[in-house]
Chains A and B, each alone.
Chain A
Amino acid sequence: MRGKLVIFLMSGSRTPELAEAAVQGGADLIELGFPFSDPLADGPVIRHAAENALAEGMRTKACLQCLAEIRARVQVPLVPFVYSALLEAYGHERFVADAHAAGGGAILVPDLPVDSLPELRRIQLVAPTSTDERIKLAADSTDGWLYLVTLTGTTGARKELSSALAGLAERARRLAPPELPLYAGFGISTPEQARAAAEVADGVIVGSRAIEVAENGAEALRRYVSSLRIAIDEVK
Chain B
Amino acid sequence: MPTTPAAKTNPPADDRGLYGGYGGRYVPETLIPALEELEAGWRAALADPDFASELNELLTNFGGRPTPLTLTERFCPSKRIYLKREDLLHTGAHKLNNALGQIVLARRLGKKRIVAETGAGQHGVATATVCARFGLDCVVYMGVEDMRRQRPNVERMELLGAEVRPVEIGTKTLKEATSEAIRDWITNVETTHYLIGSCVGPYPYPEIVRELQSVIGRESREQILAREGRLPEAVIACVGGGSNSIGMFADFLDDAEVKLYGVEAAGAASLNSGRVAVLHGARSLVLADEDGQIADAFSISAGLDYPGVGPEHAALRDSGRVSYLTCSDDEALASFERLTKTEGIIPALESSHALARALDIDESLVVVCLSGRGDKDLDEVLEQLGRRS
B133 on the A face (CB < 8 A): no
Distance from A81 Cβ to chain B, minimum over Cβ atoms (Å):
13
Q: Is the CB of B28 within 8 A of A149?
A: yes
Contact B291 A89 (CB under 8 A): yes
Q: Which of B182, B188, B189, B283 contacts A88 (CB 8 A)?
A: B283
- Most B Cβ at <10 Å: residue of A43, A85, A127: A85
Interface check A167, CB cutoff 8 A: no
Residues of chain B within 8 A of A36, CB atoms compared? 292-293
Q: Which residues of B contact A149 (CB under 8 A)?
A: 28-30
- One of A40, A59, A154 near B281 (C-beta < 8 A): A40
A128-159 Cβ-contact flags toward B at 8 Å (1 or 0): 11110010001000000000010011100000
A127: shortest Cβ distance to chain B, in Å? 4
Q: Does B276 contact A134, Cβ atoms closer than 8 Å?
A: no
Q: Which of A134, A138, A154 has the most C-beta atoms of chain B within 10 angstroms of its own C-beta?
A: A154
In the complex, what distance in Å separates the CA atom of A153 from the CA atom of B190? 11
CA distance A36 to B279 in the complex (A): 11
Shortest distance in angstroms between B173's beta carbon and chain A's nearest beta carbon? Answer: 12
- Taking the nearest CB of chain A, how far is it from the CB of B149, in angstroms? 21
A59 to B291, CA, bound (A): 7
Which residues of B are found within 8 Å of A163, using beta-carbon distances? none
Taken residue by residue from 275 to 309, chain B's Cβ proximity to chain A (1 for < 8 Å, 0 otherwise) reads as 11111110100001011111000000000000000
Interface 9-residue window, one of B19-27, B43-51, B72-80: B19-27
* Residues of the A chain whose Cβ atoms lie less than 8 Å from the Cβ of B290: 89
Given A38-B279, A111-B281, A153-B186, CB of A85 within 8 Å of CB of B33:
no
What residues of chain B lie closer than 8 Å to A86, measured between beta carbons?
291-293
CA distance A90 to B293 in the complex (A): 11
Our pick among B170, B187, B277, B294 for the contact of A154 (Cβ within 8 Å) is B187
A200 to B131, CA, bound (A): 42
Decide: B24 and A116 in contact? CB cutoff 8 A. Answer: yes
A191 to B182, CA, bound (A): 30
Q: Which of B169, B188, B292 contacts A85 (CB 8 A)?
A: B292
Interface of B is mostly: mixed
Q: Flag whether B32 is at the interface (Cβ < 8 A).
A: yes
Q: What's the dominant secondary structure at chain A's contact region?
A: loop
Q: How many angstroms from the CA of A114 to the CA of B294 in the assembled complex?
A: 24
A124 vs B279: C-alpha distance when bound (angstroms): 20
B148 to chain A: which residues have CB within 8 Å? none
Q: Does A83 sit within 8 A of B, measured CB to CB?
A: yes
> Which of A41, A124, A131 is within 8 Å of B33, CB to CB?
A131
Residue among A88, A111, A154 making CB contact with B276, cutoff 8 Å:
A88
Q: How large is the interface on A (under 10, 10 to 19, 20 to 34, 35 or more residues)?
A: 35 or more
Tell me whether B183 is interfacial, beta carbon within 8 Å. yes
**Is B179 engaged at the interface, CB distance under 8 Å to the other chain?**
yes
Please determine whether A38 and B27 come into contact, CB atoms closer than 8 angstroms.
no
Distance of A154 Cα from B293 Cα, bound (Å): 20
Q: Is A11 an interface residue (CB 8 A)?
A: no
**Residue A84, interface by CB 8 Å:** yes
A40 lies within 8 A of B182 (CB): yes
Known: A38-B175, A47-B169. A60 touches B291 (CB 8 A): yes
**Across-interface contacts of B276 in A (CB, < 8 A):** 88
- A55-87 interface bits toward B, Cβ cutoff 8 Å, 1 = contact, 0 = none: 000011000000000000000000000011111
Instruction: Tell me whether A54 and B293 are in contact (CB under 8 A).
Output: yes
CA A112 to CA B26, docked complex, whole Å: 5
Whether A41 and B26, one on each chain, are in contact in the complex, defined by CB atoms closer than 8 angstroms, is: no
How distant is the Cα of A37 from the Cα of B26 in the complex, in angstroms?
15
5 more contacts with CB within 8 A, not counting A85-B279, A153-B183, are A51-B169, A84-B26, A88-B278, A111-B28, A152-B190
**5 interchain residue pairs of minimum CB distance:** A89-B292, A127-B30, A85-B278, A85-B292, A153-B187
